[in-house]
Structure 1
Amino acid sequence: MNSIIEKYMLLVEKISNTTKAHKSFGTDVNIYRSEIHIIQLIGDRGEVFISEIARLIGVTKGTVSQIVSRLEAKGLAEKSVDKNNNTRQLVCLTIKGMTAYQTHVNYHLRKHQEMECFLVSLNAENRMVLEKFLTTAHEMIEDHQ
Protein backbone atom coordinates (compact mmCIF):
# COMPACT_ATOMS: atom_id res chain seq x y z
CA MET A 1 0.00 0.00 0.00
CA ASN A 2 2.75 2.45 0.94
CA SER A 3 4.48 1.82 -2.38
CA ILE A 4 1.39 2.93 -4.32
CA ILE A 5 0.96 6.06 -2.20
CA GLU A 6 4.66 6.87 -2.53
CA LYS A 7 4.53 6.50 -6.32
CA TYR A 8 1.43 8.68 -6.43
CA MET A 9 3.09 11.41 -4.34
CA LEU A 10 6.22 11.28 -6.53
CA LEU A 11 4.00 11.66 -9.60
CA VAL A 12 2.26 14.70 -8.10
CA GLU A 13 5.63 16.25 -7.28
CA LYS A 14 6.96 15.56 -10.76
CA ILE A 15 3.88 17.14 -12.35
CA SER A 16 4.20 20.25 -10.18
CA ASN A 17 7.87 20.58 -11.16
CA THR A 18 7.06 20.58 -14.89
CA THR A 19 6.30 24.30 -14.69
CA LYS A 20 10.06 24.92 -14.48
CA ALA A 21 10.95 22.54 -17.31
CA HIS A 22 11.36 23.60 -20.91
CA LYS A 23 11.68 22.04 -24.35
CA SER A 24 12.48 23.45 -27.77
CA PHE A 25 9.52 21.84 -29.60
CA GLY A 26 11.45 21.72 -32.88
CA THR A 27 12.74 25.30 -32.62
CA ASP A 28 15.99 26.97 -31.57
CA VAL A 29 14.54 28.46 -28.35
CA ASN A 30 13.51 27.15 -24.93
CA ILE A 31 9.75 27.11 -24.50
CA TYR A 32 8.24 26.76 -21.03
CA ARG A 33 5.01 24.97 -20.17
CA SER A 34 3.01 28.20 -19.75
CA GLU A 35 4.30 29.39 -23.12
CA ILE A 36 3.54 26.20 -25.08
CA HIS A 37 -0.01 26.16 -23.79
CA ILE A 38 -0.55 29.73 -24.98
CA ILE A 39 0.98 28.65 -28.31
CA GLN A 40 -1.45 25.71 -28.36
CA LEU A 41 -4.42 28.01 -27.76
CA ILE A 42 -3.33 30.45 -30.50
CA GLY A 43 -2.53 27.63 -32.93
CA ASP A 44 -5.91 26.00 -32.38
CA ARG A 45 -7.68 29.27 -33.23
CA GLY A 46 -5.35 30.79 -35.86
CA GLU A 47 -5.34 34.14 -34.11
CA VAL A 48 -6.81 35.32 -30.84
CA PHE A 49 -7.15 38.46 -28.72
CA ILE A 50 -5.07 38.77 -25.56
CA SER A 51 -8.26 39.37 -23.57
CA GLU A 52 -9.75 36.15 -24.96
CA ILE A 53 -6.65 34.14 -23.98
CA ALA A 54 -6.90 35.56 -20.45
CA ARG A 55 -10.57 34.65 -20.23
CA LEU A 56 -10.04 31.12 -21.58
CA ILE A 57 -7.20 30.19 -19.23
CA GLY A 58 -8.41 32.18 -16.22
CA VAL A 59 -5.53 34.62 -15.72
CA THR A 60 -5.19 38.38 -16.03
CA LYS A 61 -4.59 40.19 -19.31
CA GLY A 62 -1.33 41.44 -17.80
CA THR A 63 -0.11 37.87 -17.26
CA VAL A 64 -1.00 36.93 -20.84
CA SER A 65 0.66 40.10 -22.16
CA GLN A 66 3.89 39.16 -20.37
CA ILE A 67 3.87 35.65 -21.81
CA VAL A 68 3.02 36.92 -25.31
CA SER A 69 5.88 39.44 -25.05
CA ARG A 70 8.25 36.55 -24.27
CA LEU A 71 6.84 34.62 -27.24
CA GLU A 72 7.43 37.67 -29.45
CA ALA A 73 11.01 38.03 -28.20
CA LYS A 74 11.62 34.37 -29.07
CA GLY A 75 10.14 34.86 -32.54
CA LEU A 76 7.19 32.56 -31.87
CA ALA A 77 4.28 35.02 -31.99
CA GLU A 78 3.34 38.44 -33.31
CA LYS A 79 0.91 41.00 -31.94
CA SER A 80 -1.13 43.41 -34.00
CA VAL A 81 -3.76 46.00 -33.17
CA ASP A 82 -7.37 45.10 -33.99
CA LYS A 83 -8.42 47.20 -36.99
CA ASN A 84 -11.95 47.56 -35.56
CA ASN A 85 -10.92 48.40 -31.99
CA ASN A 86 -7.42 49.77 -31.50
CA THR A 87 -7.49 49.01 -27.76
CA ARG A 88 -7.47 45.26 -28.45
CA GLN A 89 -4.40 43.25 -29.46
CA LEU A 90 -4.58 40.26 -31.74
CA VAL A 91 -1.95 37.51 -31.46
CA CYS A 92 -0.93 35.00 -34.14
CA LEU A 93 1.91 32.53 -34.49
CA THR A 94 4.97 33.04 -36.66
CA ILE A 95 6.36 30.20 -38.78
CA LYS A 96 8.61 29.24 -35.87
CA GLY A 97 5.58 29.37 -33.56
CA MET A 98 3.68 27.07 -35.93
CA THR A 99 6.60 24.62 -35.79
CA ALA A 100 6.41 24.59 -31.98
CA TYR A 101 2.62 24.24 -32.13
CA GLN A 102 2.71 21.28 -34.53
CA THR A 103 5.51 19.56 -32.60
CA HIS A 104 3.50 19.95 -29.38
CA VAL A 105 0.33 18.60 -31.02
CA ASN A 106 2.25 15.59 -32.39
CA TYR A 107 3.82 14.96 -28.96
CA HIS A 108 0.39 14.81 -27.32
CA LEU A 109 -1.02 12.57 -30.05
CA ARG A 110 1.87 10.14 -29.55
CA LYS A 111 1.48 10.13 -25.75
CA HIS A 112 -2.30 9.69 -25.97
CA GLN A 113 -1.82 6.72 -28.32
CA GLU A 114 0.64 5.13 -25.87
CA MET A 115 -1.83 5.55 -23.02
CA GLU A 116 -4.68 4.23 -25.17
CA CYS A 117 -2.66 1.09 -25.94
CA PHE A 118 -1.97 0.57 -22.24
CA LEU A 119 -5.63 1.04 -21.28
CA VAL A 120 -6.82 -1.35 -24.00
CA SER A 121 -4.50 -4.00 -22.55
CA LEU A 122 -6.35 -3.84 -19.21
CA ASN A 123 -9.53 -5.74 -18.48
CA ALA A 124 -12.71 -3.82 -17.63
CA GLU A 125 -12.34 -4.35 -13.87
CA ASN A 126 -8.78 -2.98 -13.85
CA ARG A 127 -9.87 0.05 -15.90
CA MET A 128 -12.65 0.74 -13.37
CA VAL A 129 -10.17 0.51 -10.48
CA LEU A 130 -7.79 2.84 -12.29
CA GLU A 131 -10.57 5.32 -13.01
CA LYS A 132 -11.67 5.26 -9.36
CA PHE A 133 -8.08 5.84 -8.26
CA LEU A 134 -7.70 8.82 -10.61
CA THR A 135 -10.99 10.31 -9.43
CA THR A 136 -9.90 9.97 -5.80
CA ALA A 137 -6.46 11.41 -6.60
CA HIS A 138 -8.06 14.35 -8.37
CA GLU A 139 -10.29 15.03 -5.35
CA MET A 140 -7.25 14.87 -3.05
CA ILE A 141 -5.38 17.41 -5.18
CA GLU A 142 -8.42 19.71 -5.26
CA ASP A 143 -8.63 19.55 -1.45
CA HIS A 144 -4.88 20.18 -1.13
CA GLN A 145 -4.87 23.48 -3.05
Structure 2
Amino acid sequence: MVNNSAKPHSAITASNILDMITRVLNKAAAIEKEPVDIGHGLFLYASEVHLIDMAGRYPEEGMSQIASRLGITKGAVSQTAKKLEEKGYIERANPEGDRKTVFIRLTERGMDAFLWHTAYHEVVNQNMAEEVEKLSARDIDTLFSILLRMETMLDNCPVVRNKITAQFIQKKLANPDTDI
Protein backbone atom coordinates (compact mmCIF):
# COMPACT_ATOMS: atom_id res chain seq x y z
CA MET A 1 0.00 0.00 0.00
CA VAL A 2 1.13 3.48 -0.81
CA ASN A 3 1.73 5.63 2.24
CA ASN A 4 3.25 8.91 1.15
CA SER A 5 3.14 11.21 4.18
CA ALA A 6 3.27 14.25 1.87
CA LYS A 7 -0.24 13.41 0.71
CA PRO A 8 -3.27 14.67 2.58
CA HIS A 9 -5.12 12.04 4.61
CA SER A 10 -7.93 11.70 2.03
CA ALA A 11 -5.39 11.10 -0.76
CA ILE A 12 -3.70 8.39 1.32
CA THR A 13 -7.08 6.78 2.03
CA ALA A 14 -8.03 6.94 -1.64
CA SER A 15 -4.70 5.40 -2.60
CA ASN A 16 -5.15 2.59 -0.06
CA ILE A 17 -8.68 1.93 -1.33
CA LEU A 18 -7.46 1.80 -4.93
CA ASP A 19 -4.69 -0.59 -3.89
CA MET A 20 -7.27 -2.87 -2.29
CA ILE A 21 -9.59 -2.69 -5.32
CA THR A 22 -6.65 -3.54 -7.58
CA ARG A 23 -5.78 -6.52 -5.38
CA VAL A 24 -9.38 -7.79 -5.41
CA LEU A 25 -9.68 -7.35 -9.20
CA ASN A 26 -6.33 -9.10 -9.73
CA LYS A 27 -7.47 -12.04 -7.61
CA ALA A 28 -10.72 -12.27 -9.59
CA ALA A 29 -8.79 -12.04 -12.87
CA ALA A 30 -6.42 -14.81 -11.71
CA ILE A 31 -9.39 -17.09 -11.02
CA GLU A 32 -10.80 -16.35 -14.48
CA LYS A 33 -7.43 -17.08 -16.16
CA GLU A 34 -7.01 -20.50 -14.57
CA PRO A 35 -8.36 -23.26 -16.83
CA VAL A 36 -10.18 -26.20 -15.27
CA ASP A 37 -10.43 -29.87 -16.17
CA ILE A 38 -13.72 -31.24 -14.84
CA GLY A 39 -12.69 -34.83 -15.53
CA HIS A 40 -12.71 -35.07 -19.33
CA GLY A 41 -8.97 -34.58 -19.74
CA LEU A 42 -9.53 -31.22 -21.46
CA PHE A 43 -9.03 -27.75 -20.11
CA LEU A 44 -11.92 -25.32 -20.15
CA TYR A 45 -11.18 -21.61 -19.98
CA ALA A 46 -13.45 -19.02 -18.37
CA SER A 47 -14.79 -17.76 -21.69
CA GLU A 48 -15.70 -21.34 -22.63
CA VAL A 49 -17.35 -22.05 -19.28
CA HIS A 50 -19.36 -18.82 -19.54
CA LEU A 51 -20.59 -19.77 -23.00
CA ILE A 52 -21.52 -23.26 -21.77
CA ASP A 53 -23.38 -21.62 -18.87
CA MET A 54 -25.34 -19.35 -21.22
CA ALA A 55 -26.16 -22.23 -23.57
CA GLY A 56 -27.38 -24.27 -20.60
CA ARG A 57 -29.48 -21.48 -19.09
CA TYR A 58 -30.82 -20.04 -22.35
CA PRO A 59 -31.10 -22.90 -24.86
CA GLU A 60 -33.84 -21.07 -26.75
CA GLU A 61 -31.56 -18.11 -27.55
CA GLY A 62 -29.30 -17.80 -30.57
CA MET A 63 -25.65 -16.82 -30.57
CA SER A 64 -26.49 -13.13 -31.07
CA GLN A 65 -28.61 -13.01 -27.92
CA ILE A 66 -25.98 -14.93 -25.97
CA ALA A 67 -23.31 -12.49 -27.18
CA SER A 68 -25.47 -9.65 -25.91
CA ARG A 69 -25.94 -11.34 -22.52
CA LEU A 70 -22.18 -11.86 -22.18
CA GLY A 71 -21.36 -8.34 -23.38
CA ILE A 72 -19.10 -9.62 -26.15
CA THR A 73 -19.25 -9.69 -29.94
CA LYS A 74 -21.00 -12.35 -31.96
CA GLY A 75 -17.59 -13.11 -33.50
CA ALA A 76 -16.12 -13.82 -30.06
CA VAL A 77 -19.01 -16.17 -29.32
CA SER A 78 -18.49 -17.87 -32.67
CA GLN A 79 -14.76 -18.39 -32.01
CA THR A 80 -15.41 -19.80 -28.54
CA ALA A 81 -18.23 -21.98 -29.86
CA LYS A 82 -15.88 -23.40 -32.50
CA LYS A 83 -13.36 -24.38 -29.80
CA LEU A 84 -16.09 -25.95 -27.67
CA GLU A 85 -17.46 -27.83 -30.64
CA GLU A 86 -13.98 -29.24 -31.37
CA LYS A 87 -13.70 -30.30 -27.71
CA GLY A 88 -17.11 -31.99 -27.87
CA TYR A 89 -18.96 -29.73 -25.43
CA ILE A 90 -21.49 -28.18 -27.83
CA GLU A 91 -23.17 -28.61 -31.17
CA ARG A 92 -24.36 -25.76 -33.34
CA ALA A 93 -27.78 -25.97 -34.92
CA ASN A 94 -29.93 -23.84 -37.22
CA PRO A 95 -33.71 -23.83 -36.99
CA GLU A 96 -35.41 -25.34 -40.02
CA GLY A 97 -35.41 -22.81 -42.85
CA ASP A 98 -33.36 -20.21 -40.93
CA ARG A 99 -29.70 -20.15 -41.86
CA LYS A 100 -29.02 -16.88 -40.01
CA THR A 101 -29.93 -17.96 -36.49
CA VAL A 102 -27.50 -20.33 -34.81
CA PHE A 103 -28.32 -22.11 -31.57
CA ILE A 104 -25.79 -23.72 -29.27
CA ARG A 105 -26.81 -27.12 -27.92
CA LEU A 106 -24.93 -28.78 -25.08
CA THR A 107 -23.68 -32.30 -25.64
CA GLU A 108 -23.51 -34.77 -22.77
CA ARG A 109 -20.00 -33.49 -22.03
CA GLY A 110 -21.33 -29.93 -22.23
CA MET A 111 -24.11 -30.77 -19.79
CA ASP A 112 -21.46 -32.14 -17.39
CA ALA A 113 -19.60 -28.81 -17.62
CA PHE A 114 -22.83 -26.87 -17.14
CA LEU A 115 -23.73 -28.91 -14.04
CA TRP A 116 -20.17 -28.48 -12.67
CA HIS A 117 -20.37 -24.70 -13.19
CA THR A 118 -23.80 -24.57 -11.54
CA ALA A 119 -22.52 -26.52 -8.51
CA TYR A 120 -19.45 -24.28 -8.29
CA HIS A 121 -21.57 -21.13 -8.28
CA GLU A 122 -24.00 -22.56 -5.74
CA VAL A 123 -21.11 -22.79 -3.27
CA VAL A 124 -19.58 -19.42 -4.23
CA ASN A 125 -22.99 -17.72 -4.07
CA GLN A 126 -23.77 -19.35 -0.73
CA ASN A 127 -20.45 -18.11 0.66
CA MET A 128 -21.29 -14.60 -0.59
CA ALA A 129 -24.79 -14.80 0.90
CA GLU A 130 -23.32 -15.80 4.27
CA GLU A 131 -21.00 -12.79 4.19
CA VAL A 132 -23.82 -10.44 3.14
CA GLU A 133 -26.00 -11.75 5.99
CA LYS A 134 -23.40 -10.40 8.41
CA LEU A 135 -23.99 -6.86 7.12
CA SER A 136 -26.66 -4.47 8.32
CA ALA A 137 -29.19 -3.06 5.85
CA ARG A 138 -27.37 0.26 6.10
CA ASP A 139 -24.02 -1.37 5.31
CA ILE A 140 -25.56 -3.11 2.29
CA ASP A 141 -26.97 0.20 1.02
CA THR A 142 -23.56 1.81 1.55
CA LEU A 143 -21.83 -1.04 -0.27
CA PHE A 144 -24.16 -0.71 -3.27
CA SER A 145 -23.58 3.04 -3.31
CA ILE A 146 -19.81 2.54 -3.24
CA LEU A 147 -19.93 -0.10 -5.98
CA LEU A 148 -22.03 2.19 -8.20
CA ARG A 149 -19.51 5.00 -7.68
CA MET A 150 -16.66 2.61 -8.46
CA GLU A 151 -18.43 1.53 -11.63
CA THR A 152 -18.76 5.16 -12.71
CA MET A 153 -15.09 5.76 -11.92
CA LEU A 154 -14.07 2.70 -13.94
CA ASP A 155 -16.33 3.79 -16.81
CA ASN A 156 -14.42 7.09 -16.87
CA CYS A 157 -10.94 5.51 -16.75
CA PRO A 158 -10.47 5.17 -20.54
CA VAL A 159 -11.18 8.89 -21.04
CA VAL A 160 -8.84 9.86 -18.20
CA ARG A 161 -6.14 7.50 -19.50
CA ASN A 162 -6.32 8.98 -23.00
CA LYS A 163 -6.22 12.54 -21.66
CA ILE A 164 -3.23 11.90 -19.36
CA THR A 165 -1.40 9.96 -22.08
CA ALA A 166 -1.85 12.83 -24.57
CA GLN A 167 -0.64 15.36 -21.97
CA PHE A 168 2.34 13.17 -21.08
CA ILE A 169 3.35 12.73 -24.71
CA GLN A 170 2.94 16.45 -25.37
CA LYS A 171 5.18 17.33 -22.39
CA LYS A 172 7.72 14.72 -23.42
CA LEU A 173 7.85 16.07 -26.97
CA ALA A 174 8.24 19.63 -25.68
CA ASN A 175 11.04 18.61 -23.26
CA PRO A 176 12.67 15.43 -24.64
CA ASP A 177 15.73 15.66 -22.38
CA THR A 178 13.84 15.79 -19.07
CA ASP A 179 12.32 13.06 -16.97
CA ILE A 180 8.64 13.68 -16.47
The answer for the alignment partner of 2:122 in structure 1 is 109
Contact 1:48–1:92 (CA<8 Å) still a contact in 2? no
2:56 matched to which residue of 1? Answer: 43
**Residue identity matched to 2:81:** V
The count of aligned residue pairs is 145
Higher relative contact order (CA 8 A, sep 6+): 1
In the TM superposition, what is the alpha-carbon distance from 1:22 to its structure 2 partner? 1.7
Residues of 1 paired with 2:140 and 2:71: CA distance?
32
Counterpart of 2:20, as a letter, is K
Point out where structure 1 has 5 or more consecutive residues left out of the alignment. Answer: none
Q: Which runs of 5+ in 2 are unaligned?
A: 1-12, 159-180
Q: TM-score, normalised by structure 2?
A: 0.68
Find the counterpart in structure 2 of residue 94 from structure 1.
Answer: 107
Deviations 1:1-29 (A, max 9, x none): 35433211211233345553322345432
- 2:77 — aligned with what? 64
Distance 1:63 1:22 in 2: 18
Counterparts of 1:122 and 1:58, CA distance in 2: 31
Kindly report the root-mean-square deviation, in angstroms, between the aligned alpha carbons of the 2 structures: 2.3
TM-score in terms of structure 1 length = 0.82
Instruction: Tell me the amino acid that sits aligned with residue 45 of structure 2.
Output: Y
Distance 1:70 1:30, change over 3 A: same
Q: Percent of aligned pairs with the same residue?
A: 28
